[in-house]
Structure 1
């Protein structure tokens, strides 16, 4: 990670987790600090992605979606099309 500014944060980890993280960081060829920073960044990304899709779902117009799915016209289903439960 190449940020020009950073802050320190005293982090307390259970010994077993710290040992596992140290081992994984060593295998990746990075420092413990880099590993923890990347793990936090990945978690933030996952949470922000989940929020993005929840926000999109809340804006969805399901009546319009249903109208589109049931409208006349279009192509008939192919022989190999299947309904999913």
Structure 2
């Protein structure tokens, strides 16, 4: 595990120190928990945004096709079948 030096304003450090003491944990544990909670929150928000975008995309496609998103997806999967992709079916690899 790597170390990290964090500079905090005195007021914020004081509040963090008080909170860690109230919780019976070290400052290190408090900071680790806070960072972990923030990352979890941001990951969840990103997932929900992604799912929302997929749902809106499916609804817009369904409107164009005059069918419901589930029925449209089922239709697309039926068309795909079990066949392996043919030459040219895959998107070209991005240049690095």
Please state which band the TM-score falls in when normalised by the shorter chain. Answer: 0.5 to 0.7
Q: How many angstroms does 1:45 deviate by?
A: 0.3
The whole-number CA distance in structure 2 between the counterparts of 1:26 and 1:7 is: 24
Q: How many angstroms does 1:20 deviate by?
A: 0.1
TM-score computed with the length of structure 1 as normaliser = 0.67
Q: How many equivalent pairs are there?
A: 62
Deviations 1:3-51 (A, max 9, x none): xxx1101110000000000000000000001000100000000000000
Q: How many angstroms does 1:62 deviate by?
A: 2.3
**Residue 33 (structure 1) aligned with residue 32 (structure 2):** no
TM-score computed with the length of structure 2 as normaliser = 0.59
**Residue 62 (structure 1) aligned with residue 59 (structure 2):** yes
Q: What stretches of structure 1 of length at least 5 have no aligned partner?
A: 1-5, 69-85
The whole-number CA distance in structure 2 between the counterparts of 1:38 and 1:13 is: 16
Question: Higher helix fraction: Structure 1 or Structure 2?
Answer: 2
Greater relative contact order (Cα 8 A, min sep 6): structure 1 or 2? 1
CA RMSD of aligned residues (A): 1.7
